[in-house]
Amino acid sequence: MKKLTNAHVMLLVTTLIGIMLFIWPMITGGQPLAAAAISFGLGTAAILVAMEVVAGHLDTRKLALLAALAAIDAAARAVLVTGIGGFSPIFLMILCGGYIFGAEYGFLLGSITILVSAFVTGGLGPWLPYQMFAAGWVGMIAGMAGIGCKGRPSKRDVIILAAVGLVLGYGYGAVMDIWDWTFYQSSPGLGFSPGMSFLTVVNHFAKFYAATSFVYDSFRAVGNVIMISVLGAPILLALGRLRARLNTDIDESVMLITTDVNAV
């Protein structure tokens, strides 16, 4: 059984903070202040980076790779800002990076990519922390799905990741719809109102999602599958080689340090 590290605990805490941010209106009846929400988003990402660095899982080379992947993804989104329906090329690298490098790395890649993209495209606003958490969870779940991918990525890995991309295409949209839906109070049959019972919340949200977002999110889900089917294999292979190279270099450094200590 894999040992639970401080980084894992921090990822769990980060996820709980994100969940609380999304369901805050259902608990308090009002929206959290935009400044507080943005602080939560940026703060939790920064703390997770720090925990990964302290734990030795994120050295300078992996940090540089994280920045490069986020920049590439942000550039891809800048080319197609509005997307086609809900489709956006930004999810390809988040899914592939998370699948190869793991849940913590995937969460950071997703959240930092959204942050960089927001600066590039001018998409700064109260929705930003919600997008950061939602995209982070996409990378995190992709990382969980790829936990068994240790060697050279295979066709099976592409199929698994395509299936994950399909599900998360809808999942990302549904999670972001929670934020949209809590503002939508004009319709008594679809909207959110403080004090509703749990079953009413589920019923109204399901009807809201089906009426406003299912078709839109289908473009994202199918687009993820197409992108991974066409480009997934070479990207996974390249990232897999980078992972092997980085891990080998780290192992060799540890051996050299151990040898020096023993010699003393």
Domain count, the chain: 1
* pLDDT tens, per residue, the chain with 264 residues: 455 566 677 788 888 888 888 888 777 766 666 666 777 677 777 777 776 776 667 778 888 888 899 888 888 877 765 667 778 889 999 999 999 999 989 999 999 999 888 888 777 778 888 899 999 999 999 999 998 787 788 899 999 999 999 999 999 999 999 888 876 655 677 777 777 888 988 898 999 899 889 999 999 999 999 999 999 999 999 999 998 888 765 444 434 333 333 444
Residue 60 lies in a domain: yes
- Taking the model in full, what pTM does it have? 0.85
| Residue 178 covered by a domain | yes
User: Is residue 184 within 8 Å of residue 192, measured between CB atoms?
Assistant: yes
**Cβ partners under 8 Å of residue 44, min gap 6:** 13, 14, 17, 18
Q: Is residue 259 part of a domain?
A: yes
- Answer yes or no: is 1 within a domain: no
Question: For the purposes of burial, counting CB atoms within 10 Å of the CB of 196, is it exposed (0-12), middle (13-18) or buried (19 or more)?
Answer: middle
Containing domain of residue 227, as a range? Answer: 6-263
Backbone φ and ψ of 87, nearest 5°:
-70, 140
For 40, 74, 110, 125, 225, the CA distances from 122, given in Å and listed in that order, are 20, 12, 18, 9, 28
Record the tokens describing residue 209, joined without a space. 């999602």
| Dist. CA 194–CA 185, nearest whole Å | 10
